[in-house]
Amino acid sequence: MLALDQVRKSYGRKCVLDGVTIDFPIGLTLLTGPSGAGKSTLLRLVASAERPSAGRVIWDGTPLPAGRAALRRSLGYAPQAVDLPDDLSARAFAMHMAALKGLDLAAADAQFAGIAEAIGLGADIGNRIGTYSGGMRRRLIFAQALLGAPRLLALDEPTAELDRETARLLGALVVERARTAAVVMTTHLADELAPHAAAVLRVEGGRVQPA
């Protein structure tokens, strides 16, 4: 699956991650650590949304950039912040994402409806995203990441802005997906999900270590 080998990431003179070597096997990997420690940076590297300053990101045995196309075909990514198109309905946006992923649109439409239902968004998918609350936007970003059958899920705080009950609905889907996919996630529900996790890692001081 995915591996990081001696990865360093710097922004200018600031070194955020320093010599990080980790395997992300099938199962749930939770990332914890203080604000600003580099959790989102690590998730962007996992999602190949950024390149390391040094070291290698390896997908199915092939280092990036050669392995990038294959990684992206297998990826579902829910970034922390996205500008969603306010004028589209959630359903139209999801279909746009499905088309970009090369999915069968009829199957993706049915799948999206099912995911939306499971996370309490079912009644709203025909509505314009412009009418959505922060928590609804989070759920939409989460739902599009699950479309298809991604073998790698990078989820950056999908439960932010959600009440506990709704966050648990997302957590249940994450645990289910982690049976067949490598799921790397930050969440304020980490304590609750930890019993279901293959690993809980702490990002701090440029290092990533078991929490």
Binding interface with ligand ATP (CB under 6 A): 11, 16, 33, 35-41
Q: Nearest 5°: CA angle at 200, between 197 and 203? A: 150
Where is 109: in which H helix or E strand?
A: helix 105-118
Between residues 28 and 147, which has the closer beta carbon with respect to ligand ATP?
28
Minimal distance, residue 40 CB to ligand ATP, in Å = 3
Between residues 120 and 206, which has the closer beta carbon with respect to ligand ATP?
206
Minimal distance, residue 38 CB to ligand ATP, in Å = 4
Coil, strand or helix: which one is 127?
coil
What residues have CB less than 8 Å from 107, skipping those under 6 apart? none
Minimal distance, residue 164 CB to ligand ATP, in Å = 19
Angstrom CA distances, 179 to 37, 72, 149, 151, stand at: 28, 20, 12, 10
Minimal distance, residue 47 CB to ligand ATP, in Å = 13
CB 105 within 8 A of CB 77: no
Minimal distance, residue 56 CB to ligand ATP, in Å = 19
Between residues 124 and 156, which has the closer beta carbon with respect to ligand ATP?
156
Between residues 33 and 148, which has the closer beta carbon with respect to ligand ATP?
33
Between residues 16 and 71, which has the closer beta carbon with respect to ligand ATP?
16
Cα 38 to its chain centre, rounded Å, is: 15
In the chain, what is the greatest distance between 2 CA atoms, to the nearest angstrom?
48
CB 70 within 8 A of CB 148: no
